Homo-oligomer: A and B are copies of this chain.
Amino acid sequence: MNYGDFFSEDVGAFMRSPVREIFKKVDLASIYSFAGGYPDASTFPLDEVRSLSARVLEKYGAKALQYGATQGVPELREVIAKRYGVPVENVQITTSSQQGIDVCTRVFVNPGDVILTTAPTYLGALQSFKSYRAEIRTLDNPGGKKPKFCYVIPDFQNPSGETMSLEQRENLVALARERDFLIVEDSPYRELRYSGEPVPTLYSLAPERTLHLGSFSKIFAPGFRLGWILGPGPLLEQIYVCKQSLDLCPPVFDQYMAAEFMGSGALDANLQKSIALYRAKRDKMLSLLEKYMPEGVSWTHPEGGLFLFLTLPDGFDTVALYDRALSAGVAYVAGSFFYPDGSHRNTMRMNFSFLDASRMEAGVQLLAEVIKNH
């Protein structure tokens, strides 16, 4: 049977995640992996979840296992509204912040419409944008066509680790107002700041045109697949209608656990521990790169988040180098995957959150050897 004829035109534009493909090929536990974007599993509040699940069943009973509202359960919307100082009507719960990206693309973008991004940018966003056949333009070369929205990760970007300054944010807002496009502010790492001072969110600077995407994946646990969107009512209204047909409602039991965890203050206590752990990992990573990387290799110095970005001397090709690294027992993600045009083949993303601190040195040393021996 020939299945090719059945697929929609969107399928021709689908892009596989090279990260997810790597995970299918190798057992992460068997190598030194700087590849994924996984949180350190030791930050997951296992004991808390045990008591949370009992508490949720006690408090809500069968309601925790029933269908819930498409916008999310009121209890979770309320704690998020309170935490971020917005009216509860401006909070939509999503089944992961990836769904937040997907639903924004669905609701705003026709094939051929322009989406602005930074370069590099988050791979999962590129996957979503390409799957809807958007035209992706970068902020430094936006072209003449009016964009539908600009997608940015202003805090501790994935993959670069960089944070937009207040001036950069204000400039983006001015441009968005001038050319009348929306801003999708993806903010999964914002609460993971290890040094420096917080910069105002784009949502606070331009609440009338910003959709701010939050995530529980890095401040609670990714296994619950919960995120949220803060945004203007008229935009959330259509996102809500779209979400009815996407999955009816987010996972209810998980939402009540997240509401209890955030509302009780346990999330903040856990977050302090995560920040201390990740700060030490970032510092260790930076000093290991300093110690082992050969002349000509440079990297970003993130103030938070999970990633930093390496630039190798011109002529290096991290896509070609990848199999050699894997054979040597170390994994990264080639930086060019994060560029809409696949350029910058001499860069790589390194995650510093997942690998045990005790294994980092051997991993960085191996990677440095692979680079030197090239």
Known: A38-B66, A62-B41, A254-B251. A50 touches B53 (CB 8 A): yes
**Segment touching B, from A4-12, A80-88, A308-316:** A4-12
CA distance A122 to B36 in the complex (A): 39
Per-position binary interface string of chain A over residues 59-100, scored 1 when its CB falls under 8 Å from any chain B CB and 0 otherwise: 001111111111000000000000000000000000110110
- For A354, the closest partner residue in chain B by CB is B66
Please judge, given known A-B contacts A225-B95, A244-B127, A251-B251, whether A46 and B65 are in contact too, CB under 8 Å: yes
A6 to B209, CA, bound (A): 10
User: A248 CA to B128 CA in the complex, in Å?
Assistant: 11
Stretch at the interface among A101-109, A159-167, A274-282: A101-109
Q: Which of A50, A106, A251 has the most CB of B within 10 A?
A: A251
Within 8 Å by CB of A6, from B10, B63, B182, lies B182
**Total number of A residues with any Cβ neighbor in B under 8 Å:** 83
In the complex, how many angstroms separate the beta carbon of A189 from the nearest chain B beta carbon?
Answer: 15
Interface flags for A34-45 (1: CB within 8 Å of B; 0: not) read 001011011010
A249 at interface by CB-CB < 8 Å? yes
Question: Out of B44, B61, B70, B101, which one reaches A65, CB within 8 Å?
Answer: B44
Q: Say if the beta carbon of A246 comes within 8 Å of chain B.
A: yes
CB pair B251–A224 under 8 Å, yes or no, is yes
Cβ-closest 10 pairs across A and B: A223-B252, A65-B221, A41-B62, A65-B223, A53-B53, A127-B245, A128-B245, A44-B65, A3-B234, A96-B247
Q: Which residues of A contact B (CB under 8 A)?
A: 1, 3, 5-11, 14-17, 20, 23-24, 36, 38-39, 41-42, 44, 46, 49-50, 53-54, 57, 61-70, 95-96, 98-99, 101-102, 106-110, 113, 124, 127-128, 131, 148-149, 180, 182, 208-209, 217, 221-225, 232, 234-235, 238, 241-242, 244-254
